[in-house]
Amino acid sequence: QGCLMHNYTKQDLVRCMSLELEDSSKNHVYFIGEHKVRSLYFKWIREVLGKDQTKQDTRPEEGNHVEDDRGLQVDFIWSPYIGDAMVKTLDVAKKSGGSALVVLGPGLHYITESNTTTSEAFQTYSDHLVQLALSVDGAPDSTTFIWKSIEPLTSAKEKQAFRLESVNADIAKYNDLAKEVLNGSRITLWSNIQQLAESRAQLVRNAQIGGGNSTLRNSDDVLLQMLFNHQCNRLLRPNDGSCCVDEEATTWTQAALLVICGVLGVWSLKICCFQRADTRKKSDPVLEDFSVMIVTAAEKKGVAAPSTPSTAPTSSSVTHTLVQALLKMGLILLYCYMCDRANVFLKENKYVSVFNFYLATACIAIAALFSLRPSTQSAVMHRDITDELKGWMQLVILSYHMTGSSFYLPVYMHIRLLVSFYLFLTGFGHFIYAWNGKKLTFVRYCQVMFRLNFLAVMLCLSMNRAYQFYYFVVLVSFWFTVMYATLALPPLLLPPIYGSRHTSTNYAYGIVKIVGLAVVITLLFKHKSVFDLVFQCPLWASLFQGPDQTVDEWFFRWSLDRYSVLYGAAFALVYRWMVEKGWIDDGTSSSLHRSRIRVLLMLLLGVILVPAYLLLLQHCDTKKTCNAWHPFLMWLPILGYIILRNEIGYIRTNFSNAMAWCGKISLELFVCQYHIWLAQ
C-alpha cells in the first residue's frame, strides 16, 4: 500500500513475458478459485496472450487451459473450497521445473453456503488455511503464491443475491483470519482488495450524490494491473511503478557522498564558529582603544604606524567559500534523494490532463508579463532574451511532464520545438563567439563541459542513474562538442578586421563548415549501421547506451534535433552578414529596419512563419510522421519568433526578469525536475 502502480500496456507485457521465459525454460501460471478468479483469468489471457476464452462453452468445473508457442502455460482450476483439488495442483506446481505464479482465490462459498454464525464453519476455514500454508512449504523460490482476499459486495444487487444481511462483515472476519494464519508463510496476501472495493464504492456514492457519473475503471481491470505490477515490476522496473519492487541497495558511492557531506557540514560549522570568534575579538572596545593608543604613540615618535590588515582574500577565506559551495551541492543532492528515493513526501502517478497543461502555461505567461524589465542590451537575441527563452522552456517542459500531456500530439510537438530551440541557441551562441574572433581554447571547452555536466554527473553518482538518464544534458554536451570541433578544425575562422567587419573568405569558411557538418550528419542518419558503429565504440559507448545496452533511444533523440545547431549557426552567419551590410541596425534601441514598410513586412513574415509550422503539422496524424517532418520544419516558427521578438526596439530591449532568472539555471532545473517534481 502507498506505492505507485504502473499501467501496463501490451507492449510492456510482451517484454515482461519474454524476460520471464529467459529466466526459465518453463513458465506456468495457475488461477485457482471461484468465479471471481475465473473472470481474472479470462482477462489475463486476453491481455497477455491476445486470446478470448470467454467464447468457449465450458462450465467452470471443467477448468481451462491455454498454451502459447513460447512455452507459457496458463490454467484455471475450479476450486471454491480449500480442498484436495487445490492441494493437488499446488503439489504439481511445486514439483514442476521453471517458475510459476499461483493465484488462489476461494472463500466466498464458505460464507454463502454455510451457517457462518457457527464456530464450526469458521474453524473449518481456519484448519483449511493451515493445511494450505503447510502444503506450499518446500516450493522452489521461483514459484510465487498469491492469496486473493475475498472482495466485499459493493452493490445492493449482489447482497440481495446472496440473501445475507451482514455478508460484508462476515467477509471482513474471514479476510482477517486469512491474514492471521498466512502471515509469515510462503503465500503472499493480496489484502488491499478489500480496501480497494470500499474506496471505489465510496467514490461511486459520492458521484451519485453529486448528480454526476462515475468514470472509474472496471474493478477486474484494476486488479489485473495490480497483478501485472506484482509480476513484472521486478523485471522491467518502470519509472512510475514502485509496487512489489525491492528498494535499491545503497552503493558505495552514495555512502561516500553522504560521509563527505557530513564532513563538509562539520567543517563549515567549525569555520563559521571561528569567524564569529574573530569578529568578536576585532570588535572588542578594549582592543580598539589599545590599537588607537599604539597608533598615537607611534605618530608622536615619528615612527610609521603599524599597517592595517590587507583586505585581499586569504587562503582561509577561499577555503571557506569552497567548503560552503560543496556543502550547498551536498544539500541539493540530499534533497533530491529525499524527494525521489525516500518516503518523506507523498507521490502519485501522473494523469493526462491537457487542460492543466494549458492552465499552468497561462500562469507562467502571466508571471512573465508581470516581471518585465528594461534591458541594457540591444543586439539581436542578446543574453537577456536567450535567458528569458530558456527559462520559459524549462517551466513549460516541467508542466508538460507533470501533466502527462505527451499523448496530445500538438502539445508534444510544441515541446519538441522548445528542445530544438534550445539547441538552436547553442549553435547560434557558439558560432557568434568564434565569429567575433575569440579563441577556441581547450580550457574554454573544459570549462563549458564542466558547467554542463557537473550536476548531472553528481546526480548519477548520488542517485545511481546512468548518464543517458539525463538525456538533455547528453544532447547539449554532444552538440556543443560537435560545434566546437567544427569551428576549431581548419579552415579556421579569421578574426574581424577594421573593428567588426569580415572578409568574404571568412564567410566562405563559415559556409564550408556548416555544409560539411550537414553532410556528415545526413550520412550518419541515412546509414544506421555506421551510426551504431560510431556510438557503440567501447571508449564512449556507456555514455550513449540505454538500459537495453543499445543506442536506439539515443538515435531517436539525436535524429530529432540533428539539424538544430546547424540552423543556429546558419542564422548567426546570415545575421552578422546583414549587420555588416547595414541592412539591419541593432546597436540602438530602435527598430532593426529604419523604413516602416520594411518593419511591417518583417512583422508580417514573422506572423506567417509561426502558424505555418502548425498548419503543416495538421497533415501528420501520428508522432512518427510528425517526428520525421520536424527536423525540416522546425526552423520556420523559430525564425518567426526571432523576427517578432527582435524587430521592434521596445520589444527587443525589454525582457521578463522572472523567466531570465530561471533561464540562468535552466539546465539545473531540467535535470533536477526528474528527482524533485517527477520523483520515481
Asked which of 211, 236, 261 is the last residue of a domain, the reply is 236
Q: Is 189 helix (H, G, I), strand (E, B) or coil?
A: strand
Residue 610 belongs to domain spanning? 347-676
Nearest Cα neighbor of 44 from 224, 198, 195 is 224
Q: List CB contacts of 649: < 8 A, sequence separation 6 or more.
A: 378, 588, 589, 590, 591, 592
Nearest Cα neighbor of 37 from 5, 80, 1, 67 is 80
The pLDDT of residue 234: 82
Residues 73 and 110 in one domain: yes
The answer to whether position 244 is within a domain reads: no
Please say whether the beta carbons of 487 and 430 come within 8 A: yes
The pLDDT of residue 96: 67
Residues 206 and 272 in one domain: no
Query: In total, how many domains does the chain have?
Result: 3
Please say whether the beta carbons of 602 and 643 come within 8 A: yes
The answer to whether position 341 is within a domain reads: no
SS in 3 state form for 443-467? HHHHHHHHHHHHHHHHHHHHHCCCH
Please say whether the beta carbons of 9 and 229 come within 8 A: no
The answer to whether position 326 is within a domain reads: no
Residues 16 and 143 in one domain: yes
Asked which of 185, 212, 236 is the last residue of a domain, the reply is 236
The answer to whether position 4 is within a domain reads: no
The answer to whether position 664 is within a domain reads: yes
Residues 291 and 429 in one domain: no
The pLDDT of residue 511: 92
The answer to whether position 547 is within a domain reads: yes
Cell of 215: 468514470
Cell of 440: 577556441
User: Within 10 Å of residue 467's Cβ, how many Cβ atoms?
Assistant: 18
What is the rounded distance in angstroms from the CA atom of residue 619 to the CA atom of residue 594?
Answer: 39
What is the rounded distance in angstroms from the CA atom of residue 407 to the CA atom of residue 628?
Answer: 17
Residues 296 and 362 in one domain: no
**Omega of the bond leading into 490 within 30 degrees of 0 (cis):** no
Residues 300 and 364 in one domain: no
The pLDDT of residue 554: 92
The 10s digit of each residue's pLDDT in 502-524 is 788 888 999 999 999 999 999 99
What is the rounded distance in angstroms from the CA atom of residue 623 to the CA atom of residue 479?
Answer: 24
- CATH number of residue 215's parent domain: 3.40.50.1110
User: Within 10 Å of residue 135's Cβ, how many Cβ atoms?
Assistant: 20
Asked which of 185, 201, 236 is the last residue of a domain, the reply is 236
The pLDDT of residue 294: 47
The answer to whether position 402 is within a domain reads: yes
Q: Which amino acid is at 506?
A: N
Q: How far is CA 533 from the centre of its chain?
A: 28
The answer to whether position 246 is within a domain reads: no
Please say whether the beta carbons of 626 and 420 come within 8 A: no
Residues 222 and 269 in one domain: no
Sequence-separated contacts (24+) of 58-63 with Cβ below 8 Å: 60/34, 60/35
Sequence-separated contacts (24+) of 608-612 with Cβ below 8 Å: 608/640, 609/636, 609/637, 609/639, 609/640, 609/643, 610/636, 610/637, 610/640, 610/641, 610/644, 612/636, 612/637, 612/640
Please say whether the beta carbons of 237 and 245 come within 8 A: yes
Classify burial at 539, counting beta carbons within 10 Å of its beta carbon; exposed 0-12, middle 13-18, buried 19 or more. exposed
Supply the pTM of this predicted model.
0.76
Q: Phi-psi region for residue 63, left (φ > 0), alpha (ψ -120 to 50) or beta? A: left
Residues 209 and 284 in one domain: no
Q: Which residue has the cell 527587443?
A: 652
Residues 365 and 312 in one domain: no
Residues 510 and 629 in one domain: yes
Residues 55 and 195 in one domain: yes
Residues 213 and 301 in one domain: no
**β-sheet with 143-148: strand ranges across:** 64-67, 72-78, 27-33, 99-105, 143-148, 187-190
**Low-confidence residues of the chain: pLDDT under 70:** 1-2, 22-26, 53-63, 96-98, 107, 112-118, 154-166, 194, 197-218, 274-316, 498-500, 680
